[in-house]
Amino acid sequence: MNKLNVAHLQRRPFPGYYSIEGQFELIRRHMPHDIACTPWVCPNLSKGVLPRLSNARAAALVQADVYHVTGDVHYLTRFLPRKRTVLTVHDCVFLRQTSGLRRLFVRKLFYEWAVPRAAVVTVISEATRRELEELVPAVKGKLVLIPCCVGDEFTFSPARLWPERPAVLMVGTKENKNIVRMVQALTGLDVTVHIVGTLSDTQTRALVESNLPWRNSPELNRAGMVSAYRDCDMLAFASTYEGFGLPIVEAQATGRPVLTSEACSMPEASGGAAVLVNPLDIASIRSGAERVLGDAALRIELIERGRVNAARFAPTCVASNYAHTYRDLARG
């Protein structure tokens, strides 16, 4: 049987930014046998006009039955066969990070010009769907929701006996990860803090001023992340913006209670199995943390419901959804 050849067109990631690449590597490992997915990486970093134009022209030379722009380089659709191209939009964070003429340029290049050039546009959450439909109304008829998947390595690990000083894990240090507010919310509580990601001076200063025992892992590989979840007692992920919020599901799959944000996609990703807080309100974050830390019955409930929720994002299910999209597109 001839296999359907699918090209996964990927960005050249900046150092420390591998989340999209990790997702699609996992998806390729679980793709049905009738589909062969091959990754293709942009020759240049996605920065500036000429390097992006060069990336788009190089992508046009790739040979495949179906082309899938996997995210963060939407403009690659410009020279690809429209009827055989899939584009995944993870979020609209670019527009939140820019202003003025730069914002206009990003809006045109990544959304208004690029999105209509794909036959199918997949989004990873309903929150992203709503954002994208508002931004590019013409996209409504071609949107398909396919969520992120949680890696096979994140398996259930029974929690240790609740310690006198619980360990709180925080994942990610970009501005939207809300580290300073979360640290301020935990100040005075008898906990330790482990933060994964490179800390800014402002974040480091907040940790020092909090007098909380803390440690930092600037970068962890997959095995290191598995250990980080297993070694913690709860995840604090009160982010201000996410397209999905994968750490929520990874913690749930590991068997750890989760505190997260009531904003954007996080209630959707957590599936009703997390304590939700207002990420802009330190008092709300603290109250939520105190609920998790002080209520053993609540923790058991969150862990049990979290395992059920995490099962929705198994990589075989997500890969199957993409495979269905590829087959439909190949059939025209």
88 band by pLDDT with thresholds 50, 70 and 90: very high
Please spell the DSSP secondary structure of 112-156, one letter per residue: ITTGGGSSEEEESSHHHHHHHHHH-GGGGGGEEE------TT---
> Which residues, 6 or more positions from 214, have their beta carbon under 8 angstroms from its beta carbon?
192, 193, 194, 195, 207
| 192 three-state secondary structure | strand
**Domains defined along the chain, listed by start:** 4-149+314-331 (3.40.50.2000), 167-312 (3.40.50.2000)
pLDDT in tens, 13-37: 887 667 899 999 999 999 999 999 9
Query: Which pLDDT score, from 0 to 100, does residue 320 have?
Result: 97
Cα distances (Å, whole numbers) of residue 248 to 144, 268, 276, 293: 22, 10, 12, 17
User: Mean pLDDT in the chain?
Assistant: 94
Q: What integer pLDDT is reported at residue 16 of this predicted model?
A: 66
pLDDT greater than 90 at residue 94 = no
Per-residue pLDDT, 17: 64
CA count, 13 A, side-chain hemisphere, 101: 0
At 163-204, the pLDDT tens digits run 999 999 999 999 999 999 999 999 999 999 999 999 999 999
d(CA 12, CA 6): 19
Read off the pLDDT of each residue in 282-293 and give the average, rounded to a whole number: 98
pLDDT score for 205: 97
Lowest mean pLDDT among 45-49, 166-170, 243-247, 289-293: 45-49
pLDDT of residue 102: 84
Of 235, 233, 229, 255, residue with least CA distance to 165: 233
Question: In this structure, are residues 109 and 73 in contact, taking their beta carbons and an 8 Å threshold?
Answer: no
pLDDT tier, 3 (very low <50, low <70, confident <90, very high otherwise): very high
Question: Residue 236 belongs to what H/E stretch?
Answer: strand 234-237
Please state the pTM of the whole predicted model. Answer: 0.92
Q: What is the pLDDT of residue 2?
A: 86
**Residue 1's pLDDT is what?**
66
Nearest to 242, CA basis, from 225, 227, 261: 261
Among 154, 94, 143, smallest CA distance to 115 is for 143
Write the pLDDT tens digit of every residue in 102-117: 888 888 888 999 999 9
